Amino acid sequence: MFVTPLRPPPLYGHALLRNWVAPDYPKDALKQWLGGTVKLRLVIDKKGNVVSSRVLDATDPRFVKAAQDAVKEWTFSPALSASMPVACSMDTSAVFSPEEATRHRSYGSTIPPEAELPVLAPTIEATLASAPDIDYPDVLYDRRLSGRAHYICTVLANGRVANPRIIAASNVDFVVPALNAIANLRYNPRMQGDEPIEAEVEGDLKFDLTMGSTSGALAVNGITAPDGSSPTAAVEPRTVVDPIYPYALLQKGEKGSAAVAFTVGTNGSPTEIHVIAASEPEFGVALAAAVAMSTFSPPAVKGHSAPVPLVRRADFAPAASGADSGKEDPVARLWAALQAGQVGNGTGLDARLTPRYQVAPRYPDVLRLGDRPAGQAVVEFIVDRDGRARLPQVFTCSDPAFGWAAATAVSQWVFDPPRRDGRSADVRARVPFEFKAPKD
């Protein structure tokens, strides 16, 4: 796991010293004609008051109390962030000079021209303090996928995490366990001097197959060389997107299969995607759309980068019900709830649907070969009680290829689990997409 701090909101104006009080010179030090310096780190609240001071260094301990007593009386114009007053931490020095002692007292609250003004204290970025063990999802165990989830979250001043978002995942089934793990991360917060402040960080979570191996991941995910053998090139799946079940065929309970040929380019992206077999045309285009959104490691032959032709095959079968399989399948449960009229819209939810993982659709390859039109699609789907977007169907589209691309993207989305009156809920939603003509 790694953690990288993101650029924080800037302080548009640091705190400015307005009223200054000279420290009382310790009598025994002045009698000995002894000078010195105390370096202090201050915390200034959003009202401009000094709420704490910490000694960084002192040439003589006799000066410390006098310096801290003086800075307690200082007042500032507060620091600003996004035009709002905020707390900040500043470093300052209290200089004791026998030659200047009397003259400094004469300044009252006016800052002497030779005074060293406070400066912003340095910043230490947030660091990960502890992380829970992360279990590999059972549903993916047999597929031997390398598990990765890249996230962004806000680290609060107390080190806890808020507003987590997954921005990349090797499979959508890693997203919910990743979000659960992120909620239990603890950080040393970002410190601006002695003031803990919120900060956004990004990091990676890795899901290890502790009892298995990722070798053979291509084959168990239905990916082979065109002749059905293992590819001669060294290539591994990085992001595996599963095809959506065509809604109309699922509605009829129709089973089927499809095979799609494609080439993995030297950058790891699939190109030249085309259906070579399908029991129904919709199964073929659904699998082709999933292949288009998948990614691979850059392929290599004998250590040299080279494109590699592959074929992906997939079977489509309606999920078994709990009575048939011995355990509840989320899609089967949702389909039953849908047929029973138990799926409502977003009205009356305890909170708005909040996305935690979204991917954008890819412009369809089949349209890149022609005039590359712009287009649109509207996709209807259900956010289930776990926050997963399921059962996407194309409501409208300017071209079927846009509809399949949009629906496949939606099938990867994850939201905060919806609740209505404090209880888990399944929610119907609809979202529009705009496709711009690609320039490359």
Q: Is the pLDDT of residue 2 over 70?
A: no
* Any domain includes 187: yes
pLDDT for 139 equals: 87
Same-domain check for residues 71 and 162: no
Nearest to 287 by CA among 330, 250, 256: 256
Q: What angle do CA 228, 232, 237 make, to 5 degrees?
A: 80
5 inside domain: no
Quick one: pLDDT at residue 327?
Answer: 64
**Per-residue pLDDT for 6 more than 60?**
no
165 in the same domain as 89: no
pLDDT of residue 439: 82
Q: Is residue 437 over pLDDT 60?
A: yes
Strand partners, 435: 375
Q: What is the mean pLDDT of residues 139-158?
A: 91
More confident residue, 78 or 323: 78
The 10 Å CB-count burial string (b at 16+, else e) for 181-211 is bbeebebebbbbbbbbbebbbebebebebee
Largest CA distance in the chain: 100
Domain boundary among 121, 149, 172: 121
Judge if 290 and 347 occupy the same domain: no
pLDDT value, residue 141: 86
If one compares 196 and 81, the residue with the highest pLDDT of the two is 196
Residues 86 and 160 in one domain: no
Reference 358, options 289, 412, 408, 405; nearest CA is 412
Q: 254 and 291 in one domain?
A: yes
Mean pLDDT lowest among 92-96, 241-245, 367-371: 367-371
Query: What is the rounded average pLDDT of the residues 163-173?
Result: 95
- Give the range among 28-42, 204-218, 299-313, 376-390 with minimum mean pLDDT: 204-218
Q: Does residue 183 lie within any of the structural domains?
A: yes
Would you say residue 383 lies in a domain?
A: yes
How many domains does the structure of the chain reveal? 4
Helix axes 281-293, 400-410, angle to 10 degrees: 60
Residues 93 and 156 in one domain: no
- How confident is the model at residue 233, as a pLDDT? 86
Are both 335 and 411 inside the same structural domain?
Answer: yes
Q: Give me the sign of the Cα torsion angle 135, 140, 141, 143.
A: negative
Contacts of 337 (CB under 8 A, 6+ apart): 343, 426
Q: Where in the sequence is the domain holding 28, given as residue range(s)?
A: 10-121
**pLDDT for 268 beyond 60:** yes
How does residue 58 score in pLDDT terms, banded at 50, 70 and 90?
A: very high
Tally of CB atoms within 10 A around 158: 10
Question: At 6, is the secondary structure helix, strand, or coil?
Answer: coil
Has residue 134 got a pLDDT over 80?
yes
Q: What is the mean pLDDT of residues 128-153?
A: 90
In this structure, which amino acid lies at residue 62?
A: R
* Residue finishing a domain among 261, 295, 316: 316
Binning pLDDT at 50, 70 and 90, where does residue 83 land?
confident
Length of the chain: 440
pLDDT band of residue 34 (cuts 50, 70, 90) is very high
| Calpha distance 276→53 (Å, rounded) | 73
Beta strands at 355-357 and 414-415: parallel, antiparallel or unpaired: antiparallel
Q: Residue 324 falls within a domain, yes or no?
A: no
Average pLDDT over residues 140-158: 91
Residue 213 lies in a domain: no
Across residues 214-220, what is the average pLDDT? Answer: 79
Could you tell me which of 285, 290, 282, 278 has the C-alpha nearest to residue 237?
Answer: 290
**Residue 1 has what pLDDT?**
45
Question: By C-alpha distance, which of 236, 242, 240 is closest to 268?
Answer: 236
Instruction: Quote the mean pLDDT of the chain.
Output: 90
Half-sphere exposure of 78 (CA within 13 A, CB side): 18
Domain co-membership, 345 together with 362: yes
For residues 151 and 193, membership in a common domain is answered with: yes
**Domain boundary residue, one of 152, 177, 207:** 207
pLDDT above 90 covers what percent of the chain?
A: 71
| pTM, entire model | 0.84
The band of 213, judged by pLDDT with boundaries at 50, 70 and 90, is: low
CA angle 165, 166, 171 (to 5 degrees): 155
Q: Which amino acid makes up residue 85?
A: P
CA distances from 121 to 45, 80, 86, 105, 202 (A): 14, 15, 15, 27, 24
Residue 283 lies in a domain: yes
Residue scoring higher pLDDT (135 or 299): 299
Token match 């000079």: residue? 97
Percent of the chain with pLDDT over 70: 91
Residue 8 pLDDT > 80, yes or no? no
Per the domain annotation, does 212 fall within a domain?
no
pLDDT value at residue 188: 96
Under the banding of pLDDT at 50, 70 and 90, the label for residue 339 is: confident
Between 323 and 72, name the one with better pLDDT.
Answer: 72
Least confident of 203-212, 224-233, 234-243, 260-269: 203-212
Identify whether residues 308 and 337 lie together within a single domain. Answer: no
Distance of alpha carbon 297 from alpha carbon 48, whole angstroms: 54
Residues 274 and 235 in one domain: yes
Q: What do you get for the CA distance between the two ends of the chain, in Å?
A: 35
Q: What is the pLDDT of residue 352?
A: 93
pLDDT of 212 higher than 80: no
Residue 410 near residue 389 (C-beta atoms within 8 A): yes
Q: Are residues 104 and 135 in the same domain?
A: no
Please report, for the domain that includes residue 312, its CATH number.
3.30.2420.10
The pLDDT of residue 424 is above 60: yes
